[in-house]
Structure 1
Amino acid sequence: MVFKRLLGAIGVGGPSVDTVLDGAAVVPGGVLSGRVLLRGGSTAVEVGHIGLDLLARVEAEHEQGESEGAVVFERFTVGGGFRLGAEEERDVPFGVPLPWETPVTELYGQPLGIVLGVRTEVGVAGARDTGDLDPLTVRPLPAQEAVLEALGQLGCGFRSADLEYGRIGGTGRRLPFYQEVELIPAPRYAHAVSEIELTFLASPTGLEVVLEADKRGGPFSSGQDTLTRFTVRHEDAHTLDWNSEVDGWIRQLITHRAAYGTHAAYGHEGHHGGQHDDPHRSGPGLGTAVAAGAAGLALGVVGGMVAAEVVDEIGDFFEGDEA
């Protein structure tokens, strides 16, 4: 347990805060629970509010090139409106809903290279002060895990994952960024595409899966991608033949690319339910590929700004809490 003293708002001798999250990982749309532990300083203070910020490390492309920064993508007020006495200890429990669009940070316990955090803010003495900053681990929903596992079973390899600032057209996505998982196509698809990018758009009712193919093998540029999207329900996670389903999606993506070339328009939609031949039940699963591919992902920050609220203390994401 590491308490971080609130120095900026009321000076030395003020209260300190420690936030403890429950459990190892949560899922998109699930409940993030824990406790905010406050310890009074040398004098009593009025605690106006206790807030939690959800942050994400995001990449952005702009005229000057690429940069990275931290973006606040959700805020919650979990307490406040009380007097904290000198040396008093107070436990404030909380349970807040994660946005359905929250990125996935791990698969089968293996990190994907996505960095999320929970920052605690305490309002005291008429000012705000940030205290604890804790890593947030998000595991996939059952349907997301089924898709990722099928991709691995079909022979696709994990290359990398990141968060891109911006939105995908034609969707109701609320967050200012989206997650991309870059995959190496299985040999059976390599004649048509050299890279596949996967994006999940989760909602309370189901999952929209966006697949993007590129023949060039380099970074995608707008207007030169082939995209298809497919929808599944959460309840289908344990009922569909996912290898056949995902194989059909990739084949449809390849067909779409061949029909429209590199300038195919976004919006080609498909829906689950059809079964496909040649399920290709081979390969170790994407979990094994992630274990090998994600191990070398650097978690350091390149630096830079994005066109959203940027958090100055992004280094805390990687250096841990300070006493």
Structure 2
Amino acid sequence: MSLFNKVFASIGIGSATVDTKLEKDVFVPGEEVRGIVQIKGGKIDQHIDDIYLNLHTNYIKESDDKKHIVKGDIERFRLIQAITIGANETKEIPFVIRVPFDTPISIGRTKVWVETGLDIKNAVDPSDKDYINVVPNQLMKGVLDTVAELGFRLREADCEELPYRKRRRLPFAQEFEFVAVSGSFRGKLDELEVIFFPQSDEQMDLALQIDRKARGLGGFLAEALEMDETNISLSIHSKDLPILKSKLESLIRQYS
């Protein structure tokens, strides 16, 4: 075994490579992801301590009064431990993982990807990145469609860091900001903010922030003191879909 090959492999030249192949690239939260991790050996035998898949997205984090975009971990899956890949050898490892229910959907600037990594001691760890398209499940689609029917248009959808008191499993959540462009809420609200906290295919918690439009001196003072915002939490079930429009309309009207 050449000393030069060992040195080159330690800095990633002539080292093992990894390529993940997914059966498809469109998923709903909670769905299984099936695929194969293909590892190709380099110029020397290499011991791999760990093979893992990470599900990532980016989110906005604020520090020192500045906003930064950082990589967020949605879930980490360990596939296999401690194998050796021979020089020029090819190994394929099939896998089945599940997209967590709280995975953000692929909309606007929000991207979701699977990153495959090999943990190789004393060497540059090879990795592979595969973007996937996460689409709303039945409950999410029901909420988004209902909000649109009430006259709201989606203005922005970003993943943002949450205050500690609002966090669930992840330190961030996807926030949907809507503006009323038609219907009875036009001119009454500055915006409607919606955050999904899915529990399963059938149940989801919603966090709503209703931001009323300032009217008169009292309204402008309330806006300046951020007293014009109302935060509401509610749970919905798939059985609520037929009455979801009247339920959300009544709730928003109560605080607008």
- Could you tell me the TM-score, scaled by structure 2's length? 0.82
| SS of residue in 1 equivalent to 2:189 | coil
2:112–2:131 Cα contact (<8 Å) kept? yes
Deviations 1:18-51 (A, max 9, x none): 1122323222222232221111111222222111
Confirm or deny that 1:150 pairs with 2:128: no
Aligned-partner residue type, residue 250 of structure 1:
I
**Which of these residues, 185, 195, 202, is aligned with residue 199 of structure 1?**
195
Displacement of 1:73 after TM fit?
Answer: 3.0
Q: Deviations over 1:33-76 (max 9, x none)?
A: 22211111112222221111222111122333222121223211
8 Å contact kept, 1:47–1:122: yes
Cα distance in structure 1, aligned partners of 2:164 and 2:239: 24
Structure-2 change in CA distance of 1:168 and 1:123 (3 Å): closer
Q: Corresponding residue for 1:226?
A: 230
- The answer on 1:160 being equivalent to 2:163 is no
Partner of 1:44: 45
Q: Which of 151, 169, 173 is residue 168 of structure 2 equivalent to?
A: 173
Shift of 1:81: 2.2
With over 3 angstroms needed to count, the CA separation of the structure-2 counterparts of 1:87 and 1:214, relative to structure 1, is: same
For 1:52, what is the secondary structure of its paired residue? strand
* Higher mean C-alpha displacement, 156-165 vs 200-209: 200-209
> Which structure features the higher share of strand residues?
2
Change (3 A) 1:58 1:83: same
Number of equivalenced pairs: 238
Cα 1:191–1:216 shift into 2, 3 Å = closer
**Amino acid of the structure 1 residue aligned with 2:180:** P
Partner of residue 218, structure 2: none
Paired residue for 2:251? 249
| Matching residue's letter, 2:169 | R
Q: Does 1:117 align with 2:117?
A: no
- Rg larger in 1 or in 2? 2
- Work out the CA distance in 2 between the residues paired with 1:130 and 1:250: 50
Cα distance change of structure 1 residues 68 and 11 upon mapping to structure 2, 3 Å threshold: closer
- Mapping of 1:15-164 within 5 angstroms? 15-105=16-106, 111-127=107-123, 129-164=125-160
- Residue 223 of structure 1: CA displacement? 5.7
2:45 and 2:85 in contact (8 A); partners too:
yes
- 1:104 touches 1:138 (CA, 8 Å); kept in 2? yes
Q: Cα offset for 1:168? A: 6.7
> Percent same amino acid at aligned positions?
26
Match of 1:211 in 2: 208
In structure 2, distance between residues paired with 1:248 and 1:141: 24
Where does the alignment leave 5 or more consecutive residues of structure 2 unmatched?
1-7, 215-222
Task: Answer whether contact 1:194 1:216 (CA < 8 A) is retained.
Answer: yes
1:180 and 1:198 in contact (8 A); partners too: yes
1:97 to partner: Cα distance: 2.4
The 1:94–1:113 alpha-carbon spacing in structure 2 relative to 1, beyond 3 Å, is same
Deviation per CA, 1:229-262, whole angstroms, max 9, x where unpaired?
22112x326x5233223322322342xxxxxxxx
Matched, 1:11 2:6: no
Give 3-state SS (helix, strand or coil) of 2:70's partner: strand
Q: Assess if the C-alpha contact under 8 Å between 2:151 and 2:185 holds in 1.
A: no
Change (3 A) 1:117 1:147: same
State the Cα distance separating 1:152 from its structure 2 match.
Answer: 1.4
Residues in 2 aligned to 1:163 and 1:214: alpha-carbon distance in whole angstroms: 19
Partners of 1:168 and 1:124 in 2: CA distance: 35
Report the counterpart of residue 217 of structure 2 in structure 1: none
Q: Take 2:86 and 2:75, find their aligned partners in 1: how far apart are those partners?
A: 30
